[in-house]
Amino acid sequence: MDIAFIRPRASRNWYINNVPLNYVHLAAYLRENGHRPHILDQVTGWRSEDIDDYIRANNISVVGIGCMTCEFPEAVNESRRLKGLHPGITVVLGGAHPSGAPEECLESGVVDYVVVGEGEIALTKLLNALESNQKPDNIPGLWSIENGTIRTNRPAEVPDIEKLPPPAYDMVDLTRYFRLDSPWHFPQSPRVIQFISSRGCPYQCSYCHTIHGKRYRGLSPVKVLDQMEDLVKNQGVKEFMMVDDIFNFDLERAKEICRGIVQRGLKIHLQFPNGVRGDRFDEELVALMKQAGTHFMAIAIETTSKEYQRLIRKNLKVDKAEQTILWARKYNIEVSGFFMIGFPGETVDQIQQTIDFAVNAPLDAIFISVVSPFKGTVLRNDMLNGRFGNVDSQTMQSLDQLFPTACSETLTLEQLTRMQRNAYFRFYTKPRSLLHLGKKLTNRRNVKKIVRAVARRVHNREMVSLN
């Protein structure tokens, strides 16, 4: 059966120019199981009229749209548009926001099914049922609405990652993504793609969405290296952005992958814009990462308060994360720190302690988020259940919004934003930071990236407030 995966272009200045990893993974599995997936990505130039012509020309009756919370409005708008122009078309939503808030998706009135969790098996079973004109009942992970009532189901089946086919990067034109300004950090090569080598994270950080579950599943190093080598030799990829949930959970596996890159002679660049745990390193791993081509990694510290490390269930050993930062500096790997301010009940002193650490640590970049308890997160439930004490009614009401303004009842969003911007000013006006940024002004892409980053932090309140 044919299914078109559509990614609408976001309208909120979200520069999501990366390859749609969810689609290339799903497409590979569906293709292996006899279906015909198509990927139509507006980021690479697909216009609405192009999508409509393609759907008609190929008699496509099912579309899938994946989205994060920030992309949800566009996902609903595109679903509504497709429903209006293509009578009888079936719309399926999946991804972080639908997995966290399936009821909201179904209540939009323009979504037929929601896949909660990993979608390979659930989506395959749905297409099998639709193709044979059967009712897709009792499919784990599949939610629907019948006669005005939301029909839930048990959690989605988790595929054996070792048996999954390689992601279908061949189904997209990678050269189109190479021409785009890649997200996150400054790549060393424009021929950069996002890559995931494992799924799941056993840590319990309450602010995270959970799609891949709390059990770590790492693809064997041999298969990781085979996929990388294929992309290097056959697709001309020169840099990988590793976006695992937690690449370094299994230290020996991480080391073996790095050694394999060197042994196979893969002349590539690596960066880790998310997905490494700051206190789960040793110096050997950092040294091997450098040998394998790593030039950047980001470490999520969030807060330096021991009380809030416990309350948000992260329990990071900040001193060990500091040591990792020093190792990165030793091996000339750029390192960024992620921080969060405005947790429920967090005091000005606690926030300032985190900010002072961020400003003074030997980091090359910092990103400070104002906390937002998204739907489907444990943080949201913890607030509702009183883990942070009694939260005032105004803050609780904000939980019903798509983008909660802030979950702090002690400080307003304006106050938090002021503290955030002051922290950026303190950090990025340091001589070392200015020199570091100056070294990045080597091409037009980097200049545009820096200008946009400054504009977002100064002007776009909604975007800057999101964790």
* Residue 2 φ then ψ, to 5°: -85, 140
Question: What local confidence, expressed as pLDDT, does residue 385 receive?
Answer: 86
- pLDDT reported for residue 13: 44
Give the integer Cα–Cα distance in Å for 146 and 62. 18
Per-residue model confidence (pLDDT) at position 12: 52
Q: Which residue carries 């089946």 as its tokens? A: 157
Q: What integer pLDDT is reported at residue 381 of this predicted model? A: 87
Strands across the sheet containing 2-7: 36-41, 2-7, 62-66, 90-94, 113-115, 142-146, 149-151
- The closest alpha carbon to 339, from 295, 377, 371, belongs to 371
- Cα–Cα distance measured from residue 85 to residue 178, given in angstroms and rounded to the nearest whole number: 32
- Please name each of the domains of the chain with its CATH number: 2-151 (3.40.50.2300), 181-464 (3.80.30.20)
Orientation of helix 348-360 relative to helix 413-428, angle to 10°: 20
Residue for token pair 């198509």 = 38
Eight-class DSSP state of 70? G
**For position 408, what pLDDT does the model report?**
67
Minimal CA–CA distance to 457: which of 419, 402, 405? Answer: 419
Per-residue DSSP letter, 220: P
What pLDDT was estimated at residue 466? 43
End-to-end CA distance of the chain: 38
Q: Supply the pLDDT for residue 402.
A: 52
- Of the candidates 124, 196, 127, 131, the residue with the CA atom closest to the CA atom of residue 157: 124
The answer to whether 43 touches 9, Cβ cutoff 8 Å, is: yes
Q: What is the CA radius of gyration of the chain?
A: 22
b (16+ CB within 10 A) / e for 273-288: bbbbbbbbbeeebbbb
What pLDDT sits at residue 179?
Answer: 87
Q: Please state whether the predicted TM-score (pTM) of the whole model is above 0.85.
A: yes
Distance CA 64, CA 38 (A): 10
Low-confidence stretches of the chain (pLDDT beneath 50): 13-15, 404, 461-467
The amino acid present at 137, given as its one-letter code, is D
Number of residues in the chain = 467
Virtual torsion, Cα 262, 263, 266, 267, nearest 10 deg:
40
CB 39 within 8 A of CB 96: no
Q: Is residue 70 within 8 Å of 98, Cβ to Cβ?
A: no
Strand 142-146 and strand 113-115: the pairing is: antiparallel
Residues 154-166 have pLDDT tens digits of 889 999 999 999 9
Q: What is the pLDDT of residues 52-80, one digit of tens each?
A: 999 999 999 999 999 988 889 999 999 99
> 39: which DSSP letter?
E
Give the SS3 label for residue 306.
helix
For 297, residues 6+ apart whose C-beta sits below 8 A from its C-beta are 271, 272, 273, 276, 289, 328, 333, 334, 335, 336
**Burial code of 323-348, b = ≥16 C-beta within 10 A, e = fewer?**
bbbebbeeeebbbbbbbbbbbbbbee
Q: Could you report the per-residue pLDDT of 3-16, keeping only the tens digit for each?
A: 999 999 875 544 45
Structure tokens at 340: 């969060």
**Position 130, amino acid:** L
Phi, psi dihedral angles at 268 (to 5 degrees): -130, 165
Which two three-digit tokens encode residue 76? 């609903």
- The first and second tokens of residue 308, run together, are 């809030």
Longest dimension (CA), the chain: 66
Burial grade of 46 (CB within 10 A; 0-12, 13-18, 19 or more): middle
